[in-house]
């Protein structure tokens, strides 16, 4: 059941997170997930409920309010947007923490659980559903997941358009502004529903990291969303078992695992990974050296200096290449059938001549 809670959180968050990442709104999640703490405590003070639909909606309003306040503040031109976000959410969060401290005696909300969540305790609060006792968190998160999934599936086309070309979406009458707030409202709702399980801050990991990981692997939106969901689920399951194994925080471990998947993708993604980038840079450098090499050979071919110039040693002494670099370039040029060794000299093959002509233009040839 703990894993189920995590999976529900992960999928809900990844669905919305994909769009937030692409829209450049990732840090608004940060703001929302902090300031809902204020909403949660205020709703509790007013209604005495710590979970359920009233709590979810009430606290979600605080999240949206944070975004609206930040945007208003930024629009006044007195502070920049990043500073505006950084002013509003700590203030609301601080107010929330103080309210909790003041009412500490009669709340079973405490500061640590707000921040960190305790997914292990989902069983403490259950509700009967179709005759079966399920944790409240699971029921809430399930409902949230259905809402998020419906939202994304029904408005897929609109979301896609508004995300990649807000101007066109507006011109076609799709109201990108409304969609913007709809996404942020759902993010707030999801954050509130998830905060029992993973806490305010770890929720950010579920929203931001799996979609970012997916983004490193693909450029197709539907594939990105699917991959994001997949990484979220993988992080939840692997995190759960590692946490049991090492006896550490389950939520923390799940969020850490999203980071592990991201690090792996960052290193080994086929096209954008750091390893692929390094390999590509190496190939490019080698090919560039090949071009310099064939150009050099072509310049001196059939000249008196040929015996001296068209050798490996000349590359080192005249082109100031290091010996390994020269050897690698010669080998690479050999492999690509650009040059051959004739009478101890390096000579152009037809393909090499063609390459030179491509560089200098045919008129010189």
Cβ distance to other proteins smaller for residue 186 or 208 = 208
- The minimum distance between CB 60 and other proteins, in angstroms, equals 20
How near is the Cβ of 16 to other proteins at its closest, in Å? 13
Distance (Å, whole) CA 132 – CA 178: 38
With respect to other proteins, which residue has the nearer C-beta, 83 or 149? 83
- Which among 184, 187, 178, 190 is positioned nearest to 143, based on CA atoms? 190
Closer residue to other proteins in complex, CB, 192/330:
192
Instruction: Work out how close the CB of 287 gets to other proteins at its nearest, in angstroms, rounded to a whole number.
Output: 21
Query: Cα angle vertex 336, ends 331, 339, to 5°?
Result: 70
CB of 222 to other proteins, least distance (A): 18
Residue number, 126 or 272, with CB nearest to other proteins: 272
Residue 99 makes CB contacts below 8 A (sequence gap 6+) with 38, 41, 42, 45
- 276 exposure class (CB count in 10 Å sphere: 0-12, 13-18, 19+): middle
22: Cβ contacts below 8 Å, ≥ 6 apart: 163, 164, 215, 221
Q: What is the DSSP letter of 25?
A: -
Min separation Cβ 274 and other proteins, Å: 6
Three-class secondary structure of residue 319 per DSSP: coil
Measured CA to CA, the distance from residue 8 to residue 178 in angstroms comes to 26
b/e map of 120-137 (b: 16 or more CB within 10 Å)?
eebeeebeeeeeeebbbb
Residues at the site binding other proteins, with contacts judged by CB under 8 A: 21, 24-27, 29-30, 34, 73, 76, 78-80, 82-83, 85-87, 90-91, 93-95, 97-98, 101-102, 104, 111-112, 115-116, 201-202, 204-205, 207-209, 212, 215-216, 243, 246-249, 251-256, 258-259, 262, 266, 272, 274, 277
* Of residues 24 and 350, the one with the C-beta less far from other proteins: 24
- What CA–CA distance (Å, rounded) separates 190 from 203? 9
Residue 348 per-residue DSSP state = E
Q: List 340's β-bridge partners, or say none.
A: 347
State the minimum distance, in angstroms, from the CB of residue 279 to other proteins: 14
Beta strands in the chain (DSSP E): 126-129, 132-135, 339-342, 345-348
Query: How far apart are CB 262 and other proteins at their closest, in Å?
Result: 6
CB of 296 to other proteins, least distance (A): 33
Residue nearer to other proteins on the CB measure, 30 or 309: 30
9 vs 310, which CB is nearer to other proteins?
9
Backbone φ, ψ for residue 202 (5° rounding): -70, -25
Question: Nearer Cβ to other proteins, position 72 or 331?
Answer: 72
């Amino acid at each position: 059941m703990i894993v189920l809670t995590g999976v529900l959180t992960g999928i809900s968050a990844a669905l919305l997170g994909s769009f937030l990442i692409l829209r450049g709104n990732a840090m608004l999640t940060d703001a929302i997930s902090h300031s809902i703490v204020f909403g949660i405590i205020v709703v509790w003070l007013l209604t005495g409920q710590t979970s359920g639909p009233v709590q979810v909606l009430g606290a979600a309003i605080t999240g949206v309010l944070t975004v609206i306040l930040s945007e208003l503040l930024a629009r006044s031109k007195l502070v920049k947007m990043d500073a505006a976000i950084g002013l509003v959410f700590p203030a609301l969060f601080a107010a929330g923490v103080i309210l909790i401290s003041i009412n500490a005696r009669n709340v079973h909300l405490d500061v640590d659980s707000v921040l960190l969540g305790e997914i292990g305790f989902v069983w403490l609060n259950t509700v009967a559903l179709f005759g079966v006792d399920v944790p409240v968190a699971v029921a809430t998160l399930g409902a949230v997941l259905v809402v998020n999934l419906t939202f994304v599936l029904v408005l897929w086309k609109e979301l896609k358009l508004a995300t990649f070309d807000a101007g066109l979406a507006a011109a076609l009458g799709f109201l990108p502004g409304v969609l913007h707030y709809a996404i942020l409202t759902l993010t707030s709702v999801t954050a509130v529903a998830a905060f029992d399980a993973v806490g305010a801050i770890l929720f950010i990991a579920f929203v931001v990291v799996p979609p970012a990981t997916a983004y490193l692997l693909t450029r197709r939106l539907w594939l990105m969303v699917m991959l994001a969901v997949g990484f979220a689920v993988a992080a939840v399951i692997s995190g759960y078992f590692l946490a049991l194994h090492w006896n550490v925080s389950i939520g923390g471990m799940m969020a850490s695992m999203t980071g592990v998947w991201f690090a792996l993708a960052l290193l080994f993604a086929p096209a954008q990974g750091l390893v692929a980038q390094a390999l590509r840079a190496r190939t490019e450098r080698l090919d560039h050296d090949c071009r310099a090499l064939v150009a050099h050979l072509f310049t001196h071919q059939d000249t008196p200096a040929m015996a001296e110039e068209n050798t490996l040693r000349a590359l080192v002494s005249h082109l100031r290449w290091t010996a390994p670099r020269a050897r690698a370039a010669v080998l690479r040029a050999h492999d690509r059938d650009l040059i051959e060794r004739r009478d101890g000299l390096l000579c152009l093959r037809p393909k090499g001549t063609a390459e030179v002509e491509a560089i200098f233009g045919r008129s010189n040839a």
